């Protein structure tokens, strides 16, 4: 007897993550996880995003029993400092000014929580972005055009943000947008879900 596939829940209200997951053709719903995202003192970027991704997934487990719940979180590290979403023009300007001419590492945590077995698969993927030297005029022009204030690193690589870079290095370009699809699809296949079958 074939068991029905569990329902999939994306523990996020990010339009970017939702758009990425929609590309797979899988049916899913979204919900806000509402967790405390404060870093723990001494926590590495990789530990932080893995903890937050898993916390986001498990936070919704009681409200969505039996679901496969996807949690994800992302930070970038500029000059050794963990940086998140800028929220304002001034913060975004400072982030891009600090990244100018440097390689910035993005850490994206991914967790798939199985509400039936109450187990989680969790990992961290990194992606390096090398920014070309940027002028204040270019940064201002970019920020006014794209307003990436809800994006870690202060850019949208799927849009005009690509003009800021010298190079990109990583396994999955979707990771940079906030959801490592290659890793997620591998996790889902381990749970018996394959969008091709």
pTM to 2 decimal places: 0.92
With respect to residue 3, please indicate whether it lies within any of the assigned structural domains: no
Report the DSSP pairing between strands 81-83 and 119-131: unpaired
With respect to residue 29, please indicate whether it lies within any of the assigned structural domains: yes
**Confidence at residue 101, expressed as pLDDT on a 0 to 100 scale:** 98
> 17: pLDDT confidence band, cut at 50, 70 and 90?
very high
**Confidence at residue 4, expressed as pLDDT on a 0 to 100 scale:** 60
With respect to residue 35, please indicate whether it lies within any of the assigned structural domains: yes
Establish how many alpha carbons lie within 13 A of residue 11's alpha carbon, considering only the half-sphere containing its beta carbon.
Answer: 29
> 1: pLDDT confidence band, cut at 50, 70 and 90?
very low
**Which residue, among 87, 105, 121, has the nearest Cα to 45 in the 3D structure?**
105
Residue-wise pLDDT tens digits, 86-126: 999 999 999 999 999 999 999 999 999 999 999 999 999 99
CA pair distance 73, 51, nearest whole angstrom: 9
**Confidence at residue 49, expressed as pLDDT on a 0 to 100 scale:** 97
With respect to residue 143, please indicate whether it lies within any of the assigned structural domains: yes
pLDDT at 5 over 90: no
Q: Which of 7, 36, 73, 79 is catalytic?
A: 73
CA pair distance 148, 141, nearest whole angstrom: 12
With respect to residue 43, please indicate whether it lies within any of the assigned structural domains: yes
- Is 73 marked active-site? yes
Residue 60 domain boundaries = 8-191
With respect to residue 1, please indicate whether it lies within any of the assigned structural domains: no
Q: Domain count of the chain?
A: 1
Residue-wise pLDDT tens digits, 35-86: 999 989 999 999 999 999 999 999 999 999 999 999 999 999 999 999 989 9
**Confidence at residue 158, expressed as pLDDT on a 0 to 100 scale:** 86
With respect to residue 196, please indicate whether it lies within any of the assigned structural domains: no
With respect to residue 2, please indicate whether it lies within any of the assigned structural domains: no
Residue-wise pLDDT tens digits, 122-178: 999 999 999 999 999 999 999 999 999 999 899 998 889 999 999 999 999 999 999
**Confidence at residue 3, expressed as pLDDT on a 0 to 100 scale:** 52
Q: Are 154 and 86 in contact (CB under 8 A)?
A: yes
CATH number assigned to the domain comprising residue 144: 3.90.950.10
pLDDT at 23 over 70: yes
CA pair distance 173, 109, nearest whole angstrom: 14
Q: Which two tokens stand for residue 32?
A: 């806000």
């Amino acid at each position: 007897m074939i068991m029905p596939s569990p329902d999939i829940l994306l523990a996020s209200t990010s339009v970017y993550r939702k758009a990425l997951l929609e590309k797979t053709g899988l049916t899913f719903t979204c919900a806000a996880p509402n967790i405390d995202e404060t870093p723990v003192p001494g926590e590495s970027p990789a530990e932080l995003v893995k903890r937050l991704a898993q916390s986001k997934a498990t936070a919704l487990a009681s409200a969505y029993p039996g679901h496969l719940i996807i949690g994800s979180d992302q930070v970038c590290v500029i000059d050794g400092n963990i940086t998140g979403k800028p929220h304002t023009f001034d913060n975004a300007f400072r982030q891009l000014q600090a990244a100018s001419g440097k390689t910035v590492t993005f850490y994206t945590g991914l967790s798939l929580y199985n509400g039936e077995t109450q187990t989680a698969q969790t990992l961290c993927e990194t992606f390096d972005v090398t920014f070309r030297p940027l002028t204040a005029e270019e940064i201002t022009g970019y920020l006014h055009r794209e307003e990436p204030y809800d994006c870690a690193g202060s850019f949208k690589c799927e849009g005009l943000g690509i003009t800021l870079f010298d190079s990109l290095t990583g396994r999955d370009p979707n990771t940079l947008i906030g959801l490592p699809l290659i890793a997620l699809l591998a996790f889902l296949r381990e749970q018996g879900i394959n969008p091709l079958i």
